[in-house]
């Protein structure tokens, strides 16, 4: 037996949104149905290096397939300036649940970007208006690209509005997508008045007010991934139909972590988890709904689902490097 090594380009080629979005949806369903194991994310803090490591293991049984793996990821903010390295780097180990053999080792950074977009697309499919045709994004970093790629898979997006403090980032985003969409720069309010909005910034002081969002907009709050991060104003969160990915993670480090722990928002303000929508236990968007919000922290089950897709499509794309890791 051999282990397949998949680099960033291999993962990007193998993980197409048309395949990934259903796999992530299956993962949410498995988690909701009790057919997944996902221990809490563990942290190794390294203050001497101004960084940390995080481990994210999971197993899920989606019925027609099951999968297991662990993502080892870091956050080192000084890396770009000191070492010319990314702040965040991830490595995914994908294993056969039946016999534990390591089937693949792959780039986890590209995997994370793709599965994050797919998670937003799943929520958008259940919570956005059916005829959504405009998409706004606040934050024009790497995550913004997969947000548009994924959401345009589940809705017929024509108009795109991008808002960012960096003119260079906005320009790069517009140039990348201008051949496929009617894309332009706009204010936060311009982006927020689109049918679907994704926020992908690292801010700790909310930048999106209730007035910045149209009454029918679905918002994917993707930027908060640590305590203290907070993109959406409290009033917006209180006024919306609020759906989360996982209670423990969102209350600790998701978009709602600040108002939840301050007592501004409580469990009664949370409509449900996205897995409840996927399994039909709760309704998605209804005619009476106004603003909807999906608070996404990113779950290990999503990484495992994405790794499954990356591995299963390696043969058809003839990529990856197979090697004898264990000598068995």
Please tell me whether residue 103 adopts helix, strand or coil conformation.
strand
Q: Is 161 exposed, middle or buried (0-12, 13-18, 19+ CB in 10 A)?
A: buried
Q: What is the DSSP string of 170-216?
A: HHHHHHHHTTTSEEEE--HHHHHTSSEEEE----SS--B-GGGS-TT
Taking phi first (over 0 means left), then psi (-120 to 50 degrees means alpha), and beta for anything else, what does residue 146 get?
Answer: alpha
Closest CA to 128 of 253, 240, 279, 15: 240
Annotated active-site residue 71? The verdict is yes
Distance CA 8, CA 12 (A): 6
Q: Which residue shows structure tokens 């993502």?
A: 71
Closest CA to 271 of 245, 237, 241: 241
- Produce one character per residue of 294-321: b if its CB has 16 or more CB atoms within 10 Å, e if not: bbbbbbbbbbbbbbbbbbebbeeeebbe
Q: From the candidates 71, 229, 241, 282, which is the catalytic residue?
A: 71
Q: Is 36 exposed, middle or buried (0-12, 13-18, 19+ CB in 10 A)?
A: buried
HSE toward the beta carbon, residue 315, CA cutoff 13 A: 2
Closest CA to 141 of 109, 163, 115: 163
Please tell me whether residue 45 adopts helix, strand or coil conformation.
strand
User: Catalytic amino acids?
Assistant: 71
């Amino acid at each position: 037996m051999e282990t397949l090594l998949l680099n960033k380009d291999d993962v990007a080629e193998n993980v197409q949104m048309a395949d990934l979005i259903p796999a992530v949806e299956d993962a949410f369903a498995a988690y909701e149905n009790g057919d997944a194991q996902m221990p809490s994310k563990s942290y190794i803090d390294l203050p001497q290096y101004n960084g940390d490591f995080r481990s994210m293991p999971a197993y899920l049984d989606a019925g027609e397939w099951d999968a297991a793996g662990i993502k080892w990821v870091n956050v080192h903010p000084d890396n770009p300036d000191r070492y010319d390295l990314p702040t965040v780097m991830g490595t995914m180990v994908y294993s056969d649940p039946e016999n534990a053999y390591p089937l693949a080792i792959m780039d986890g950074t590209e995997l994370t970007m793709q599965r994050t977009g797919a998670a937003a697309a799943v929520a958008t499919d259940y919570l956005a208006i059916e005829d959504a045709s405009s998409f706004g994004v606040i934050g024009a970093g790497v995550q913004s690209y997969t947000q548009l790629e994924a959401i345009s898979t589940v809705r017929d997006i024509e108009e795109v509005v991008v808002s960012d403090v960096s003119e260079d980032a906005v320009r790069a985003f517009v140039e990348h997508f201008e051949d496929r969409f009617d894309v332009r720069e706009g204010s936060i309010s311009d982006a927020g008045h689109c049918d679907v909005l994704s926020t992908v910034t690292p801010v700790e002081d909310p930048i999106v007010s209730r007035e910045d969002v149209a009454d029918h907009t679905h918002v994917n709050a993707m930027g908060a991934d640590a305590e203290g991060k907070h993109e959406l104003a409290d009033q917006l969160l209180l006024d919306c139909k609020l759906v989360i990915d996982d209670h423990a993670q969102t209350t600790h480090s998701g978009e709602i972590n600040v108002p939840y722990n301050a007592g501004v928002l409580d469990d009664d303000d949370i409509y449900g988890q996205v897995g409840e929508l996927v399994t039909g236990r709760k309704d998605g968007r209804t005619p009476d709904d106004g603003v909807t919000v999906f608070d996404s922290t990113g779950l290990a089950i999503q990484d495992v689902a994405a790794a499954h897709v990356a591995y299963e499509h390696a043969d058809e794309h003839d990529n990856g490097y197979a090697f004898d890791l264990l000598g068995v």
